[in-house]
Amino acid sequence: MATDSPVARDIVERLNAGLSDALDDDFDSLGRQLHRRGIDIEAVTSKVAGFSVAVPSWGAGRGGTRFAKFPIPGEPTNIHEKLEDCAVIQQLCRMTPRVSPHFPWDRVSDYRALREEAAALGLGFDAVNSNTFQDQPGQAASYATGSLSSTRAEVREQAIAHNIECIGIGAQLGVTDLTVWVGDGTNFPGQQDLGRSLDRYIDAASAVYAALPDGWRMLIEHKLYEPAFYSTVISDWGSSILVAQELGDKAKCLVDLGHHAPNVNIEQIVARLHRFGKLGGFHFNDSKYGDDDLDSGSINPHQLFLVFNELVEAEMNPRGGFRPAYMIDQSHNVTDPIESMLSSAEAIAGAYAKALLVDREELLAAQEANDTMMAFQALRKAYRTDVTPILAKARAGAGGAIDPIAAYRASGWRARKARERQAAGTAAGIV
């Protein structure tokens, strides 16, 4: 645990003291309501308190769009400063104890020291993300025409070596998941052979897979389009699961909410992947049009609830094993990233809490009886419930803030960091 909190504890305690009577009142009222429905609020609160989602190191900064990035004063510019900001998020919301690093963006000379630095801030690490979708200064071969699926052997070798390097880094950080997303694909019909490019990807991914230590998983993230706009090599959950099945047990599929065509039934994809033991992880964000990377729950909170309805179903019926790697994967362009992450963590945990309120017996009975309306109502009842007091109680019970954003603003953290940190660059870049 942290020896010293990034935000002064007395600020959190003072604000909590002013809010705790109202919270107790709301919590007791919700408790009585849930009791009438046969639900023990303490049991739900304890499940929510045990829930966690990782934050991405890159999410601590202003991500920008493909057009421009507008940095804010005090924005972190290296992994050390990012960890500090992630520690603030964790201190206030108490459900983001791990940071998912991205390489080479978060490269340092001593990863064991980085692990200790994070631990001193009360943080651990989550899935290591490899990056073969952009060239780094001094890199021998270019990823301009692909990485793991490139037609050029030396490019594939370089991409394989980078992924294996990431496994080595992850081992030093105490991580056991490698997330692989490639931007590989084409912008023109005929640019590449659709079958052979997948052959090359599978061959290269097999070499990475072979380097996974015991207990490790390779999480394969699909994406419909962007940066390739005609075809992507791992375009959908179908490609993802076929590759994962070919690679072996350690290969799982990772679903990112923004990586599908509009209106695709993502909760059904979750259920399908779980059915075949291939659901490895989930990237949370929200979307209006494409891979917008908007804040979780800001556009379609009902979809988030339906996804969690399947995730809770998977949790309760693990079918031999369900160890989901949950991560927030957002790009913050117009907000303070810390505030966005706090708001998103609340939205994600809220969807989880609502999914826990679904009366599964009632739902199953209605489904078996083909009573469509009652099956739908079983979900409705849970979705309509305001779970805010449960989330606040879980946070406060773990030492967090009843109102995390208010506590963050009261702390003056960003203004203080603006005085201490170097200004961030304005180079745009999609992540």
Q: Which amino acid is at 218?
A: M
Smallest distance from Mn ion to CB 129, Å: 8
DSSP state, residue 283: E
Nearer to Mn ion, 82 or 393 (CB): 82
Nearer to Mn ion, 220 or 391 (CB): 220
Answer yes or no: are the C-beta atoms of 204 and 159 closer than 8 Å: yes
Which one of the spans 261-269, 325-333, 386-394, 404-412 is the region binding Mn ion (CB under 5 A)? 325-333
d(CA 335, CA 341): 10
Q: Which amino acid is at 199?
A: D
- How many residues bind Mn ion (CB under 5 A)? The answer is 3
Q: What is the SS3 assignment for 302? A: helix
Q: For residue 260, state whether it binds Mn ion (rule: CB under 5 A).
A: no
> Distance between terminal CA atoms of the chain?
30
Nearer to Mn ion, 19 or 430 (CB): 430
Q: For residue 84, state whether it binds Mn ion (rule: CB under 5 A).
A: no
Nearer to Mn ion, 85 or 221 (CB): 221
Across the strands, what pairs with 93?
A: none
Smallest distance from Mn ion to CB 102, Å: 11
Residues contacting residue 28 through CB under 8 Å, at least 6 positions apart:
none
Answer yes or no: are the C-beta atoms of 153 and 203 closer than 8 Å: no
Smallest distance from Mn ion to CB 382, Å: 27
d(CA 326, CA 367): 29
d(CA 196, CA 203): 11
Q: For residue 256, state whether it binds Mn ion (rule: CB under 5 A).
A: yes
Which one of the spans 151-159, 253-261, 390-398, 399-407 is the region binding Mn ion (CB under 5 A)? 253-261
Cα dihedral sign for 156, 157, 160, 165? negative
Report the candidate in 338, 264, 331 with the shortest Cα–Cα distance to residue 303: 264
Smallest distance from Mn ion to CB 351, Å: 18
Q: For residue 329, state whether it binds Mn ion (rule: CB under 5 A).
A: yes
Which one of the spans 152-160, 187-195, 254-262, 355-363 is the region binding Mn ion (CB under 5 A)? 254-262
Smallest distance from Mn ion to CB 256, Å: 4
Nearer to Mn ion, 201 or 282 (CB): 282
Nearer to Mn ion, 81 or 329 (CB): 329
Smallest distance from Mn ion to CB 239, Å: 16
Among positions 273-292, residues that touch Mn ion (CB under 5 A) are 283
Smallest distance from Mn ion to CB 394, Å: 26
> C-alpha distances in angstroms, 359 versus 224, 375, 377, 378, 390?
35, 10, 10, 6, 17
- By CB under 5 A, name the binding residues for Mn ion: 256, 283, 329
